[in-house]
Amino acid sequence: MVASAAVSPPGPGPIEPTASFSFPSSDGTELYGEFFAAPSPRGAALILHGYAEHAGRYREVANVLVQSGLSALAFDQRGHGRAHGARGHVLRFAEYLEDVKAALAQLDARAGRDLPLALICHSHGSLIGLRLLADPWACPPRVRCAVLSSPFLRLQARLSPVKQLAARALGKLLPSLSLPNDISIERLTHDADKVAERRVDTLCHDVAGARWFNEARAAQSWVLEYAHRVKVPTLWLVAGDDVLVDPEASREVHARIKARADWHHFERLYHEVLNETERGQLFGLVSSFLDENFP
């Protein structure tokens, strides 16, 4: 469905984490997590942030989850925020899946190992989430549903064949090379306060790794090919006025999913739909979706 951009109440505001801590991924890379405890939780949620940002930007989302009865963990992926690793760099996309596995172990230890799980994903985090969901051998069986915000399934700006060839070559010859990511902060959200916060947030970075770019493109192709293997319900929150990712790529992947996949397209919203002025409307959709999947 195409959703309007009607004025809605703002979100509930951020909450402080119950606990903040560092923990290792499978290869020893130090990650950083923030846990938010819900009283008598009916489930648990793992928050996967977008590229070039960090878990601390999701404390309002965590508040929505806790109010919905889910304990939540947001964590900084390698090369982001307080986590170790060169900014914006990864050698293999599978390293992100290992980070997710390590984060889920931390969530289980704090929220309860038997609780059903939800994935709450934004942009590059949605690519990671879909890469996991479409792999039945890697996806934990307790994952019950997923929220996908502005999935990074293709860049909005198309690269010329020459630039694509150059990117592939640089990713192989100089895998640690980083270039400016050219993210336009003013086109992330219409909320002036959120834009101001992002502009001074030193935990966000402004580079894109050459090897990461190649690995992300390969993951996008993989997700498109195997999207039909997604077995759990998904909620798609897609920005119509997105200068970073192409919403048509989300349509292509969404069309290949055979499981329930609720589509919401917001014509005038920018990329960070969960930071938009109308985010109260989207949080309502998230809460209703969670109510249906965590009765």
Burial of 10 (0-12, 13-18, 19+ CB in 10 A): middle
Planar angle of CA 206, 94, 225, nearest 5 degrees: 100
Q: What are residue 148's phi and psi, to 5 degrees?
A: -120, 110
State the pLDDT at residue 61.
Answer: 98
Helix/strand/coil percent split, the chain, to 5: 40, 20, 40
- Per-residue pLDDT in tens (0 to 9) along the chain, 295 residues: 555 444 455 789 999 999 999 999 999 999 999 999 999 999 999 999 999 999 999 999 999 999 999 999 999 999 999 999 999 899 999 999 999 999 999 999 999 888 999 999 999 999 999 999 999 999 999 999 999 999 999 998 655 454 455 455 554 545 555 555 568 899 999 999 999 999 999 999 988 888 899 999 999 999 999 999 999 999 999 999 999 999 999 999 999 999 999 999 999 999 999 999 999 999 999 999 999 999 8
Q: How far apart are CA 194 and CA 181, in angstroms?
A: 20
Q: Which are the contacts of 13, defined by CB distance < 8 A and separation ≥ 6?
A: 60, 63
Question: What's the number of CA atoms in the CB half-sphere (13 Å) around residue 260?
Answer: 12
Q: Could you tell me which CATH class the domain 2-293 is placed in?
A: alpha beta
Q: How far apart are CA 273 and CA 266, in angstroms?
A: 8
Whether the CB-CB separation of 67 and 40 falls below 8 Å is answered with no
Q: Closest Cα partner for 135 from 223, 253, 48? A: 223
What are the tokens at 162? 């020459």
Q: Say what the pTM is.
A: 0.92
Beta-bridged to residue 232, according to DSSP, are: none
